[in-house]
Amino acid sequence: MGLIAPWFLAGIVALGLPVYVHLLRQYRQTPLPFSSLMFFEKRTQSSIKHRRLKYFLLFALRCLFVALLVLAFARPYIHSTIMANVNGGRTYVFALDNSYSMRQGDRFADAKKAAMEQINTLRDVDRGQVISFGGPARLLTDMVSDKQVLRAAVTSLEQGDDASAYAELSRALRSVSESLKADITAHVFTDTQKSSWPAAFSDARLDDGTTLVVHAVANKALPNWTVESVDAPRRVFDTKKVRTVATIAGYNTEESTRKVTLRANGKVLETKPVKVPANGRATVEFLALDAPYGLTRCEIQVDGGDVFPLDDRWLFPVERADPKPALLVHADNDSASPLYVKTALESSAEAAFKLESVAATQTSNLDVSKYAFVILSDPGPIAQKFNDALNTYVQNGGSVLLTLGKNTTAGRHLPVADIQMMGLHTIAPDHEAVLTVASADPSYPAFSQAQNWGGVDFFQAAKLQLPQASPETRIAAKLSDGSPLFIDRRIGGGHALVFTSTFDNIANNLPIEPVWLPFIDQLTHDMGGIGTSPGNYRVGSFVDLRTAKEKNVPVEVVGPDGKRLLSLSESAKASTFQFPSMGFFEIRRANGRAELAAVNTDRRESDFSLVPAETLELWKNTGIAPGGTKAGATGAAGKTTQDKKAELWWWVLLALVVLAVAESVLGNRHISEGASDPA
């Protein structure tokens, strides 16, 4: 017998309550009026008789009630060993680690061979299932008795580039055990890599009744050098030299000097030596990356000279192009907003745009089609010819941003956006508080990184009459008075964006706040169609195939081997793609925009340190049932022993109900007897 929650036994101190009731509260004396006590001699009366227990049966019932109540909270259980006929068949799970580290030597081949040997030992009455856990755990078969099906699953399993996780494996084993409502024996074929062990031991727990058998295909930690990471620009828009920093890591290694090489499209650009300390890291810097125009496949490679050369290189893409022209139209007397916007664009890590500022009176003959985006910075009235050109520009897929201030005429429709301007709300500091940003949608590109709007105050904001709610109109941010701050309207193939204040540091203090730079950077990248994808990904991660503007644009994904990885229906509808392996992947869109994604393995797989043996033993013991008997252990005479536990709390609860009734009846009788006694 045992207790699931033994700490509740501390409640046994509540036994003092019946003692208090029966001893300290039993003496009662009714005062009686008397004329005088002057003729009585003062004496001390003994109180021994008042400290004697009365109503022993009632006292015992109350003590027993308290004790059983405490026991019920402690949740008692009993366990017994049940002998089951082994001829009924047993349930097995064969889990194979096909993570990146299993590519070392013959590890994966050894794991598959060991799995085949275990499957061959199954009897006809047994059943089994094959799963892999190089990345998310995958069920490769159903729970079947056909050994041929199990062998075929093991044979067809391919080596992967993802990272393994023992927490993910344990979750899968718990799921199998719970769905089958049966004890299972799990044979795990892995290299017992320490980096796969979860931070919290509880994440690797197994259900009671799960027997874990680990077949280790590695018996010692191996020295290994690897390129752990590379810091390089995603895009280059001028001919200045680019700084590329690579981090070289050594696992289980001695201090050594390694050669590190920078390549672009297979061409060696530069080689440098770097001293890596024992079991440490070192950085090496390259200042020459003469990438040609377009997309360039770059890599950093270390001369590891170790037993695992597969992780000796790190892939990264670089796109070189000239800065795209962008247009800002402003009022004749406005010099502040062009300065703030231009400075923000030049301060970006990727100076992707070259801003051209033009007064509203000089826009008649502008060819807007050559600009990546257009900003109308509260320009006032614009020429009809320019307005028509903007409408065509947006219909054809361009983006126009309007900021609203004192030059915008109330009562008229805004150009391009077709939203009526109702008026301008100017804050009177003596009578009302300044406006602030009440909400910003982090899923909108302009607000994905620009989220710290706490210090931005608005002294002036436009009031608009918005059209009826529709999927084509999106309010991405609101002010504290409930009015919109940022509106995105889809018109034709493009977008009209409305910012209900200005960029001149007069109507608000936005241009001098820290949120200004990430806001403009993200906003202009989205408007200019450059996108904000990182370029570098990890095996198993996902990439967004379409932005909000490209929801109907077909997409092609071409793998490292040059093959298309999406079907026709997937290329038209899929919103994300999961990278299955290491290498360069091309993402091609029908609108002409292309990206090059470099996919690298999780560098935790490069550390061949092993999980300590005592940790593996503790992991196995999480599947031991209470009482220390291993579920499913083989007993004598062709039997298997199964340790079952049954909780007794409901029996205790039933006894409590009976005691409560008995105590109530007996207590009422004693009260009646006490009331009938003469005073």
Q: Say if residue 402 is in the same domain as residue 471.
A: yes
Q: Is residue 399 exposed (0-12), middle (13-18) or buried (19+ Cβ within 10 Å)?
A: buried
Q: Is residue 640 part of a domain?
A: no
pLDDT for the residue numbered 547 = 64
Give the number of domains in the chain: 5
pLDDT for the residue numbered 321 = 85
Domain boundary among 527, 544, 572: 527
Q: Say if residue 374 is in the same domain as residue 506.
A: yes
Among residues 90, 83, 113, the alpha carbon closest in space to that of 185 is found at: 90
Q: Say if residue 464 is in the same domain as residue 508.
A: yes
Beta bridge partners of 544: 576
Q: Is residue 306 part of a domain?
A: yes
Q: Is residue 38 part of a domain?
A: no
pLDDT for the residue numbered 679 = 40
Q: What angle do CA 535, 540, 542 make, to 5 degrees?
A: 50
pLDDT for the residue numbered 589 = 79
Alpha carbon of 590 to those of 37, 235, 553, 565, 679: distances in Å?
Answer: 115, 21, 6, 16, 105
Q: Is residue 174 part of a domain?
A: yes
pLDDT for the residue numbered 330 = 95
Residue 137 sits at φ, ψ, to 5 deg, of: -65, 135
Beta bridge partners of 393: none
Residue that is written with structure tokens 């993200």 in the block: 522
Per residue in 610-644, pLDDT tens? 999 999 999 998 876 544 544 444 433 344 455 55
pLDDT < 70: residue spans in the chain: 1, 14-16, 18-30, 34-55, 79-88, 238-241, 469, 531-533, 547-552, 591, 624-645, 670-671, 673-679
Q: Say if residue 436 is in the same domain as residue 516.
A: yes
Q: Is 0.75 topped by the overall pTM? A: no
Q: Is residue 422 part of a domain?
A: yes
Helices (H), 532-645: 568-573, 613-621
Strand (E) or helix (H) holding 338: helix 336-347
191 vs 442: CA distance, rounded Å: 41
Q: Say if residue 353 is in the same domain as residue 418.
A: yes
Q: Say if residue 388 is in the same domain as residue 508.
A: yes
Cβ–Cβ < 8 Å for 119, 128? yes
Tokens representing 270 are: 């530069």
Buried b (16+ CB within 10 A) or exposed e, 298-310: bbbbbebebebbb
Q: Say if residue 267 is in the same domain as residue 356.
A: no
Q: Say if residue 109 is in the same domain as residue 246.
A: no
Q: Say if residue 235 is in the same domain as residue 329.
A: no
pLDDT for the residue numbered 89 = 85
Tokens representing 279 are: 């079991």
Tokens representing 326 are: 């962008």
Among residues 454, 444, 479, the alpha carbon closest in space to that of 464 is found at: 479
Alpha-carbon Rg for the chain, nearest whole angstrom, is 38
229 vs 243: CA distance, rounded Å: 14
Q: Say if residue 384 is in the same domain as residue 460.
A: yes
Give the Cβ contact number of residue 583 at 10 Å.
Answer: 17
Q: Is residue 217 exposed (0-12), middle (13-18) or buried (19+ Cβ within 10 Å)?
A: buried
C-alpha dihedral sign at 482, 486, 490, 496: positive
Q: What is the CATH number of the domain that holds 191?
A: 3.40.50.410
Residue that is written with structure tokens 């074929």 in the block: 189
Per residue in 340-383, pLDDT tens? 999 999 888 777 899 999 999 998 888 999 999 999 999 998 99
Q: Is residue 508 part of a domain?
A: yes
Cβ–Cβ < 8 Å for 368, 389? yes
pLDDT for the residue numbered 450 = 73
474 vs 491: CA distance, rounded Å: 12
Among residues 134, 140, 125, the alpha carbon closest in space to that of 93 is found at: 140
291 vs 265: CA distance, rounded Å: 9
Among residues 373, 322, 389, 396, the alpha carbon closest in space to that of 526 is found at: 373
Beta bridge partners of 356: 327
Q: Is residue 467 part of a domain?
A: yes
pLDDT for the residue numbered 439 = 92
Q: What is the CATH number of the domain that holds 553?
A: 2.60.40.10
Q: Is residue 372 part of a domain?
A: yes
Give the Cβ contact number of residue 415 at 10 Å.
Answer: 21
Q: Say if residue 292 is in the same domain as residue 183.
A: no
Q: What is the CATH number of the domain that holds 380?
A: 3.40.50.880
pLDDT for the residue numbered 631 = 45
Cβ–Cβ < 8 Å for 596, 297? yes
Domain boundary among 269, 288, 320: 320
Q: Say if residue 146 is in the same domain as residue 256.
A: no
pLDDT for the residue numbered 397 = 87
pLDDT for the residue numbered 544 = 85
Domain boundary among 279, 303, 320: 320
623 vs 484: CA distance, rounded Å: 57
Domain around 576: 536-600
> To 10 degrees, what angle do helices 336-347 and 516-527 make?
80
pLDDT for the residue numbered 660 = 82
632 vs 183: CA distance, rounded Å: 7
Residue that is written with structure tokens 């006694």 in the block: 677
